Amino acid sequence: MSRDPCIPRNWEPRARATLVYLTRGDYVLLIRKKRGHGAGKVNAPGGRIEPGESAEACAIREVAEEVGIRVQSLKLRARLRYHDPAEGFAMAGYVFVSSDFLGNPSHTPEAAPFWCRIDGIPYDEMWENDRMWLPRVLQGERIRADFRFCRDRLVAHTITPGLPSC
């Protein structure tokens, strides 16, 4: 797999989205996505940022909609860029972590939530690039990462330590 620059210089996202990893001790809340892009895969609650909405507001809204939990505070840990020219896909993603939330997760039409030990995350059921960056984020690292896909298969990536911005 190439580690060459994998996102074109003039790249602009067609969409922006969030992911939120809620943690409780040695556990992280994951979901099995029920519909939409990635249905059947394991991921975290999150979704597309609406026009005029901040990444933080989107993250809080999406967690409430997908699993019924009210997030009280967030820590931005990663900015991810996804590019799949074969599929016409270009998305900027913002990854947040929080251990400050109220409520218990509930199933919704979008997601089947479950608590998972951090050392037992089922990476084989997730997007293939998740194993490259998620452990770093859950250990408290802040990163920026770019991923190029070809028809949903990872072909290149770069991961850079550093404080991301929205």
- Residue-wise pLDDT for 58-81, tens only, equals 999 999 999 999 999 999 999 999
Whether the pLDDT of residue 2 is over 60: the answer is no
What domains does the chain contain, in order, with CATH numbers? Answer: 15-161 (3.90.79.10)
For residue 145, what are its two tokens? 């990462």
User: Can you give the pLDDT at residue 36?
Assistant: 83
Tens digit of pLDDT for each residue in 5-21? 678 888 999 999 999 99
Tens digit of pLDDT for each residue in 21-59? 999 999 999 999 998 878 899 999 999 999 999 999 999
Distances (CA, A) of 146 to 27, 71, 74: 27, 27, 22
Contacts of 59 (CB under 8 A, 6+ apart): 18, 19, 20, 46, 71, 74, 94, 96
Predicted TM-score of the model (pTM): 0.92
